[in-house]
């Protein structure tokens, strides 16, 4: 789910960027991507979230992404401090909107199986800890404990992988535009690459792999 949220927001932001400039993503020219079809995959909850963001908040997301990309180009890698430094710049209003987004998703719990609910609640709690750290300005590599963070993310990925097909498909009932995503073998194969010692670069590669499949239309319903 964590990777899914990032991918969904990436698609929406990519549409915004595409209106103004020719850009590419990992070898795929966004100019050639049918965003009209692709954006239909993004759940209404995420579209509403994005539309309710201020111009400054949208610019923050794009600038943060560009800053991290530049870090990779300059240093050849990212550190957890690099990521946390960008998160610390997030405005309190945007933090509140992310919290509201999770609350909106939580309202769909009745459509999930018991197994899916358990995993969703663990993911939601994980994100709320991060958001609370940003709000209280206590988010640091020391406060997070990177080893514990890696273990937590790995365990969450394993919990999702270990769900039954019925469990994973219930996420598609909650977010029907993505009914071909949550139990798709390509998505599952990507998150199976998450290891307990995965680096930030590993997570970026996994995210890029999933986003590329989105851009290719792999998860489209038609």
Domain-embedded: residue 136: yes
Residue 170 placed within a domain: yes
Task: Evaluate whether residue 222 is within a structural domain.
Answer: no
What's the pLDDT tens digit per position in 78-101? 777 888 888 888 888 988 888 888
Say which residue, 190 or 11, is predicted with more confidence. Answer: 190
pLDDT(10) > 60: no
| Residue 151 structural domain | 2-215
In a domain, 80, yes or no: yes
> Using 50, 70 and 90 to split pLDDT, how confident is the model at 17?
very low
What is the arithmetic mean of pLDDT over 132-139? 75
DSSP string over 139-151: --HHHHTHHHHHH
> Is the predicted pLDDT of residue 5 greater than 80, yes or no?
no
Residue 221 lies in a domain: no
In the chain, what are the helix, strand and coil shares in percent, each to the nearest 5?
A: 70, 0, 25
The pTM of the full predicted model, rounded to 2 decimals, is 0.76
The domain total for the chain is: 1
CA-to-CA dists, residue 201 to 68, 119, 129, 193, angstroms: 11, 25, 23, 12
Residue 220 lies in a domain: no
Would you give the distance in Å from CA 128 to the centre of its chain? 14
Q: Is 181 within a domain?
A: yes
Query: What residues have CB less than 8 Å from 31, skipping those under 6 apart?
Result: 18, 22, 23
Taken in order 114, 118, 119, 124, the sign of the CA dihedral is positive
């Amino acid at each position: 789910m964590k990777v899914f949220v990032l991918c969904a927001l990436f698609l929406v932001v990519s549409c915004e960027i595409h209106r103004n400039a020719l850009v590419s993503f990992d070898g795929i020219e966004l100019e050639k991507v049918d965003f009209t079809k692709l954006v239909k995959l993004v759940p209404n909850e995420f579209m509403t979230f994005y539309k309710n963001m201020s111009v400054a908040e949208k610019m923050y997301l794009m600038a943060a992404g560009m800053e991290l990309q530049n870090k990779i180009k300059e240093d050849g890698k990212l550190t957890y401090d690099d990521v946390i430094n960008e998160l610390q710049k997030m405005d309190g209003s945007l933090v509140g909107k992310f919290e509201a987004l999770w609350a909106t998703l939580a309202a769909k719990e009745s459509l999930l199986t018991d197994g899916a609910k358990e995993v969703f609640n663990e993911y939601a709690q994980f994100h709320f800890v991060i958001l609370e750290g940003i709000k209280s300005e206590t988010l640091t590599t020391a406060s997070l404990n990177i080893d514990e963070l890696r273990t937590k993310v790995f365990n969450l990925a394993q919990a999702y992988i270990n769900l039954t097909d019925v469990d994973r498909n219930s996420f598609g009932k909650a977010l029907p535009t993505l009914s071909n995503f949550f139990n798709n073998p390509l998505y599952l194969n990507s998150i199976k690459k998450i290891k307990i010692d995965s680096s930030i670069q590993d997570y970026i590669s996994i995210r890029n792999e999933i986003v590329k499949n989105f851009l290719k239309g792999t998860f489209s319903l038609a």
